[in-house]
Structure 1
């Protein structure tokens, strides 16, 4: 399985998601795409696809990044260019909703 994320600024999002996920660009990218793969070779490939239309509404699907230390990971992602949208505590757990540099929402939670 692969996940594809539409974007406008391919290089900015490729740099952000590579650092955020500890991924790298391991092969030549097709025109209009950036292919990001897990540095350890295990996991799902993330494709970034340049599209002409802007993002206008909330994502209908998002990524959940599960980590041991939510607060530390949120701070790391903010330093990479993410924006904090909301924090939640429910169901006995805490998670933060962030957005990447183009406004694509994703969550960071305990896992």
Structure 2
């Protein structure tokens, strides 16, 4: 079994640039309706960005958590790529957290392991 995540979006090519930069993934060519992202070390799951006609309208039922060492540096890095802060930073059961959104509004969290802060 192989785990692959699929993210519905309006502009897979544009969003591929954001997620490849945010995750350090390599992007493949756009083959409608999919843009393909892979981890260069082949250690993390593949990601497919699937073009869909309908816009995102509510909160994600599943989201990505990115565990980072330096919250401020990561907020600066991903906002430079096109993300925006939705909420935070705040502490969620001892874990410093910031809820972010990609350029199409899909939420993800930046989280610092309390043992690293």
Q: Do both share a fold (TM > 0.5)? A: yes
Using the size of structure 1 for normalisation, the TM-score is 0.93
* Equivalent of 2:92 in 90, 100, 108: 90
Using the size of structure 2 for normalisation, the TM-score is 0.88
Distance in 1 of aligned mates of 2:77 and 2:33? 28
Deviation at 1:65, TM superposition (A): 0.4
Distance in 2 of aligned mates of 1:16 and 1:106? 13
> C-alpha deviations, 1:32-85, integer Å up to 9, x for none?
101100122211101100001111111011000001112211110011000101
Could you tell me which runs of 5 or more consecutive residues in structure 2 were left unpaired when the two chains were aligned: none
Distance in 2 of aligned mates of 1:39 and 1:71? 26
Per the alignment, residue 39 of structure 1 pairs with 40
* Equivalent of 1:106 in 87, 104, 108: 108
Per the alignment, residue 75 of structure 2 pairs with 74
Distance in 2 of aligned mates of 1:18 and 1:7? 15
Matches within 5 A, 1:21-36: 21-26=23-28, 28-36=29-37
Per the alignment, residue 61 of structure 2 pairs with 60
Q: Over aligned residues, Cα RMSD in angstroms?
A: 1.2
Deviation at 1:10, TM superposition (A): 1.3
Could you tell me which runs of 5 or more consecutive residues in structure 1 were left unpaired when the two chains were aligned: none
Runs of 4 or more off by more than 6 Å in structure 1?
A: none
**Paired positions, count:** 110
Q: SS of the residue aligned with 2:58?
A: coil
